[in-house]
């Protein structure tokens, strides 16, 4: 009887855990709608059709941080969002070079100042990486990536206290440098 109760308890805990994890995930592109709409407004000759979208919330990221025993320190992230859109241009060549991505992202989060830090143009592929900064707090709060490859647009957005994550990532190098100076 004790074995049966333990098994039932494990199933209940597993069910609650799975429910919690799925509550922290979304498979819609709601978080990218203003971005998608802004792109289509700037380029009315194209249409964007969602192929895939996933949004991971803070609860799931905190859980992953616990599982990794704080090795990755991802608890400073608020959201990680990815969406993939099929771009229909009616056969015309697609060139997002004239899009104002900073204004597009500003529609999403008006308190952040957006700057393009990477722009790559290769045959059949265009990439933009923008960072969102809270100028009043002097902090890095978001990174957004736009990748246009042939007729597919991939959008990635990461929100959170990214400056803390950068400090965490650079800590081993700093510790190594300080130990060399001391030795």
| pLDDT tens-digit readout, 17-68 | 444 444 445 567 788 888 999 999 999 999 999 998 887 765 544 455 444 4
> Is the model's pLDDT at 2 over the cut of 50?
no
Element at 76 (helix H, strand E): none
**Residue 83 vs residue 77, higher pLDDT:** 83
pLDDT for res 19:
45
Candidate ranges 64-78, 88-102, 165-179; pick with highest mean pLDDT = 88-102
Q: How many beta carbons lie within 10 A of that of residue 88, not counting itself?
A: 14
Question: Residue 22's pLDDT is what?
Answer: 47
pLDDT of residue 51: 92
Buried b (16+ CB within 10 A) or exposed e, 58-87: bebbebbbeeeeeeeebbbbbbbbbbbbeb
pTM for this model (two decimals): 0.71
User: Closest by alpha carbon to 35, among 22, 48, 24?
Assistant: 48
Give the Cα separation of 78 and 80 in Å (integer).
Answer: 7
Phi and psi dihedrals of 99, rounded to 5? -70, 140
pLDDT confidence of residue 146: 94
| Per-residue model confidence as pLDDT tens digits over 114-172 | 999 999 998 888 999 999 999 999 988 889 999 999 889 999 998 877 776 667 666 66
Pairing of strands 152-160, 139-149: antiparallel
Spatial neighbors of 173 by CB under 8 A, at least 6 apart, are none
CA torsion, points 32, 60, 51, 44, in degrees to nearest 10? 10
**How high is the pLDDT of residue 58?**
54
């Amino acid at each position: 009887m004790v074995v049966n109760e333990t098994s039932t308890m494990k199933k209940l805990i597993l069910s609650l855990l799975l429910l919690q994890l799925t509550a922290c995930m979304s498979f819609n592109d709601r978080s990218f709608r203003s971005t998608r709409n802004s792109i289509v407004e700037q380029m009315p000759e194209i249409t964007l059709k969602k192929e895939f979208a996933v949004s991971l919330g803070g609860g799931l990221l905190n859980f992953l941080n616990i599982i990794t025993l704080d090795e990755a320190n991802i608890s400073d992230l608020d959201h990680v969002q990815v969406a993939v859109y099929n771009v229909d241009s009616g056969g015309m060549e697609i060139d997002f070079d004239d899009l104002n991505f900073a204004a597009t992202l500003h529609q999403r989060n008006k308190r952040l100042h957006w700057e393009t830090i990477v722009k790559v143009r290769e045959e059949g592929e265009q990439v933009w990486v923008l960072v969102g900064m809270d100028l009043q707090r002097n902090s890095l709060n978001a990174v957004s990536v736009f990748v246009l490859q042939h007729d597919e647009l991939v959008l990635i957005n990461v929100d959170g206290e990214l400056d803390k994550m950068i400090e965490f990532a650079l800590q081993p190098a700093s510790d190594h440098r300080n130990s060399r100076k001391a030795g």
